[in-house]
Copies of this chain bind each other. A is one copy, B any other.
Amino acid sequence: MAEQGTESTGRARQPRTRTRASHSLDSVLAGAVEILDESGVQGLTIRALAARLGGGVASVYWYVSGRDELLDLAADSVLGGIFEQIADVGSDDAIDDLRTIAIAMFDTIVDRPWLGAYVLRDTELQIHSLQLYERIGEEVMRLGLTPRQVFHATSAVVGFVIGTAADLGQEPPAVVVSGEVTREQYLAKITGEWRALDATAYPFIHHIVDEFERHSDREQFAAGLDLLLAGLRLKAEAGSAEPLG
């Protein structure tokens, strides 16, 4: 992935003084993503990134304008990975395809809690985000709606996926990281608090606490997505009966 390119003279010369570090935008972003996955947004400091790349702090600024742009580009680079997953998508049912794409997107975002907040913020900078928005929009276009409806429906799907994934992907509020046990403990703590609430004041919480305790984020997401897509299908059918709805 990272060829050096600086010493192309064949003869392996002695680096008598430490070779100067040499980066590329790709290696900078890859390093940033590694740190983000390991230690979250807080852990991504320019100093930590420079150390991982084996260079000085200031070199990072050659490739990105600052920490914000670094985060935007790192998030976007991860989103680019989705296109491999959805390369084969193209059934005769646009809504089925929409569902497949949305779930692939969810899967990519949900186990990177840092991602949600930085995706689709700046389409000039974030080319993969734009392409994904485009890809989803193209599916929606197949439903025979008006441009306005297409815009609204596409934004709704994208907003739902990103919003829900970012929400669900939120780290437990402590420093603890990953691990099956941690999630169970986390859920147990919450359900414990919820069960201690007054049942008269919180009938809904008591109604769903058992479901919450054994819920899967992915199923919860899929269920919500299906509600949204069912509404969209309804609209598409109404639209085809009455073309200018």
Contact = CB atoms under 8 A, between A and B. Distances in A.
A118 to B, nearest CB: 10
B150 A205 contact: no
Interface residues of A, number: 62
Interface of A, helix, strand, loop or mixed by DSSP: helix
A148 B210 CA distance: 9
Nearest to A120: B167
Interface in A75-94: none
A30 to B, nearest CB: 23
A63 interface: no
A171 to B, nearest CB: 9
Contacts of A134: 201-205
A141 B227 contact: no
Interface stretch (A3-11, A51-59, A155-163): A155-163
Given A160-B159, A227-B156, A151 B211 contact: yes
Contacts of A151: 208, 211-212, 215, 220
Nearest to A227: B231
A210 B117 CA distance: 27
Contacts of A193: 123-124
19 contacts: A121-B170, A134-B201, A137-B205, A138-B203, A141-B203, A141-B207, A150-B207, A152-B219, A152-B223, A153-B223, A156-B224, A156-B225, A159-B160, A159-B164, A159-B167, A160-B163, A160-B164, A162-B167, A224-B228
